[in-house]
Chain A
């Protein structure tokens, strides 16, 4: 009974702390997400959003606290590809000589043999994923020749191909046009209906209102966390952004 309860959380982060060479970037952060929930991660530049993702993917070690994915350790979750990560554009070398197809195929590596030779099912998964982000005509294009928005979609396709139940997206809407924005947000709704858990960071307050069930406001630690309607208030936003008036951030109507 207790165990079942434990398992009902997809992501459980308890009092996690991360420091880079002794400099604290995140402390005492908590987060609990269930299947089918979309959570927005909001904070200033340098607030620790990417750091939070790094902790959840295991890319940096947490110095304190505990992370459980589907009730199990991170290492086990990695073994069965539970988490897919879509990087912030700044985090990747956009001139790397690989094609859209190659990148999306990387989503399948975790479940392939040691030589990473694709099976029929892998090829199908890659095709489906590229199709869903509407990049079929560009599938053999080197990523260096793509626009920023197309590259975003490529990494989204990689996450889809991975068939993970948890999606972590670092600023998926940064620098994309309205069409791509619409395509991405429709995909998020589909993911939600498929029961996936989504954590996404964004600087766009409208998106949070639009489709985030929950919101996590951070500034090196959690400022506020809960249902968007309750937590996403001007007061909380102001304190997250270090005293900046919510009018500036949200527009005068709010």
Chain B
């Protein structure tokens, strides 16, 4: 009897939110975005581009604002500024003696500040809060179309060039030696990064999108020694975090973007502590004793 009661209760906890149209949409879109970011994340963590991810995602801010003001698709503006920031970082690094991480920090904070100033100046109906912290519950139909299109594009690009990108992250020198176009792969990965940041910011916002791009990959890296498995684990953990994060925000009335990222962080923490080979407590050893 008791068990039956509990069962019904849990079912309603899970099913009730699904009766809302905006929740169904949010869950679907966030899962898609999470899957794309998770997919890319295994490359970024191995390439060591966490800071680059942070830079690109912050730099898209003025692009989003200008695009909204001009009535253009926000992804277009974001993409232009994302790629632009990377080009600028490369240029400044090459032409000055300032170290790379300094240049990255300098450029992205500059762009971000420009975005914030623009919001205050343009004074249209831009919702600063939803740009900074995401609004997966309020995604419009045109946003849905853009997101699906960009997500597919990124997944196709990453799949077609999967092996080349792995080689590029692992040993670009060898890639170059056997005549593979390394510069192309570099910009391909940057393009995918910009695009993923663009879709990711709808879910968790500009401030936290970098978490979507690195945390799932880092979690997966602790759990496997195979690149394929790493990608799969990364995608799955990203989707789970998204779904669970949205549910948490519904149940407890929390900021959605924040709770998605927090779930991701907890998943990483769990892997960090209990991963069979690379966790602090090495569960496998623990079990094999008994």
Q: Contact residues of A with B, CB < 8 Å?
A: 21, 54, 57-59, 75, 78-81, 83-85, 87, 91-93, 96-99, 102, 106-107, 109-110, 114-116, 142, 144-145, 158, 162
Bound complex: CA A58 to CA B160 (Å): 25
Provide a sorted-by-A list of 17 A–B residue pairs whose CB atoms are within 8 angstroms.
Answer: A21-B94, A57-B176, A58-B177, A78-B177, A78-B178, A78-B179, A83-B177, A96-B170, A97-B224, A98-B170, A99-B225, A106-B170, A106-B174, A107-B178, A109-B163, A110-B178, A110-B180
B164 within 8 Å of A by Cβ? Answer: yes
Bound complex: CA A108 to CA B109 (Å): 43
Bound complex: CA A115 to CA B167 (Å): 13
Bound complex: CA A79 to CA B166 (Å): 20
Cβ-defined contact, A97 with B167, below 8 A: no
Given contacts A106-B167, A110-B179, contact A59 B226 (CB under 8 A): no
Chain A at the B interface: SS class: mixed
Smallest CB–CB gap between A170 and chain B, Å? 10
Contacts of A21 on B, CB cut-off 8 Å? 94, 97
Contacts of A162 on B, CB cut-off 8 Å? 178
Bound complex: CA A159 to CA B55 (Å): 37
Bound complex: CA A57 to CA B180 (Å): 12
Q: Contact residues of B with A, CB < 8 Å?
A: 46, 94, 97, 160, 163-164, 166-167, 169-180, 221, 224-227, 229-230
- Select from chain A the residue with minimum beta-carbon distance to B96: A21
Cβ-defined contact, A87 with B163, below 8 A: no
Contacts of B226 on A, CB cut-off 8 Å? 97-99, 142
Given contacts A87-B174, A115-B160, contact A109 B180 (CB under 8 A): yes
Contacts of B171 on A, CB cut-off 8 Å? 87, 92, 106
Partner of B179, one of A79, A85, A98, A144: A79
- Select from chain B the residue with minimum beta-carbon distance to A57: B177
- Select from chain B the residue with minimum beta-carbon distance to A110: B178
Partner of A158, one of B174, B179, B180, B224: B174
Contacts of A78 on B, CB cut-off 8 Å? 176-179
Cβ-defined contact, B225 with A145, below 8 A: yes
Smallest CB–CB gap between A105 and chain B, Å? 9
Contacts of A81 on B, CB cut-off 8 Å? 178-179
Given contacts A79-B179, A97-B227, A114-B160, contact A85 B173 (CB under 8 A): yes
- Select from chain A the residue with minimum beta-carbon distance to B179: A78
Bound complex: CA A75 to CA B181 (Å): 11
- Select from chain A the residue with minimum beta-carbon distance to B97: A21
Cβ-defined contact, B173 with A87, below 8 A: yes
Among B94, B164, B225, B227, chain A packs the most CB atoms within 10 A around the CB of B225
Smallest CB–CB gap between B184 and chain A, Å? 12
Given contacts A59-B177, A106-B171, contact A116 B221 (CB under 8 A): no
Bound complex: CA A96 to CA B175 (Å): 16
Partner of A109, one of B164, B224, B225, B227: B164
Contacts of B176 on A, CB cut-off 8 Å? 57-59, 78
Contacts of A75 on B, CB cut-off 8 Å? 179
Contacts of B94 on A, CB cut-off 8 Å? 21
Cβ-defined contact, A59 with B227, below 8 A: no
Partner of B178, one of A97, A102, A109, A115: A109
Bound complex: CA A239 to CA B174 (Å): 33
Given contacts A83-B177, A84-B177, contact A144 B225 (CB under 8 A): yes
